[in-house]
Amino acid sequence: MKTVIVTGAARGIGLATTKQFLDQGWRVVMVDRDEPALEQAALGLVGVDPVVCDVSQPDQVAQMAAHVMATSESVDALVNNAGVADFGPIAETDFARWRTVMETNLDGVFLTSQALREGLCAARGAIVNIASISGLRASTLRVAYGTSKAAVKHLTQQQAAELGEFGVRANCVCPGPVATKLAMAVHSPAIIAAYHDAIPLNRYGTEDEIASMITFLCSEKASYVTGQIIAVDGGFESTGIGLPDLR
């Protein structure tokens, strides 16, 4: 049975991704730092191993990786989905706020991928990193979040370049807005309305629509796809000059 590690699996996109992998016959190591939410999410799911771990903490990541290596037949895929959002202007983004975003969104992706590298190489596995449309286009209030996600895109390409010779594929998914707890904490009613207006498909995406791309990229169907940055965003990124008067 194939094993995938999904970080940030206790809710939102990570939980939807976990369920799609289970439906497709994978075993899922569900990683999250929110222990009660993780326990609740894992209840009733067959084929999961919930592991409490803060992906921004090197010692916790090392422990998680050792556990995975000791308990899994193979490490076939890693989905770096754990993320935090904190929107604010440059003037108010002090170093502590900047680091809080960077340590999960960027350091976490680096640390887990590095810690599981041997297992992924042995299995000729796949890495999928979750960035965001905020890493594709800049905007106000996203100096930390947007920069962390832009860095995740490049980190993905570094991984693809270096790990390709071991048969490991690395790809990056950039979701558009999805109405999860993370998004609802930072999307005001005005932002929600503006998104609907700016997205060609005129709506938010669903957790499952993002999960479908993630599971596809981890599957044999994507066996020649690596180093790619793929927006799953209802067409938002493709619309170039997004002026309302030009639509």
- CA pair distance 34, 50, nearest whole angstrom: 11
Tell whether residue 107 is a contact of ligand NAD (CB under 6 A).
Answer: no
Of 7-15, 18-26, 120-128, 238-246, the window that binds ligand NAD (rule: CB under 6 A) is 7-15
Q: In this chain, which of 4, 21, 54, 127 binds ligand NAD, going by CB under 6 A?
A: 54
Per-residue binding letters, 26-45, with ligand NAD (x by CB under 6 A): ------xxx--x--------
The b-or-e profile of 175-202 (16+ CB within 10 A means b, else e) is: bbbbebebbeeebeeeeeeebeebbeee
What is the per-residue binding string for ligand NAD in 65-84, x denoting contact by CB under 6 A?
----------------xxxx
- Report the residue from 104, 112, 113, 147 that binds ligand NAD according to the rule CB under 6 A: 104
User: Is 195 among the catalytic positions?
Assistant: no
Contact 71, 77 (CB under 8 A): no
Q: Which of 60, 74, 13, 63 is nearest to 41 (CA)?
A: 13
Interhelix angle 143-163/108-115, nearest 10 degrees: 20
Strand partners, 230: 173
- Residue 55, by phi and psi: left (phi above 0), alpha (psi -120 to 50) or beta? alpha
Residue (186 or 222) nearer to ligand NAD, CB? 186
* Residue 11 binds ligand NAD, judged by CB under 6 A: yes
- Residue 55 found at the interface with ligand NAD (CB under 6 A): yes
Window of 22-30, 53-61, 64-72, 109-117 that interacts with ligand NAD by CB under 6 A: 53-61
Q: Please, what is the minimum distance in Å from the beta carbon of residue 239 to ligand NAD?
A: 17
Burial of 247 (0-12, 13-18, 19+ CB in 10 A): exposed
**Helix (H) or strand (E) run with residue 211 in it:** helix 207-218
Q: Is 119 in the site for ligand NAD (CB under 6 A)?
A: no
Q: What are the residues binding ligand NAD (CB under 6 A)? A: 7-8, 10-14, 32-34, 37, 54-56, 81-85, 104, 108, 130, 132, 175, 177-178, 180-183
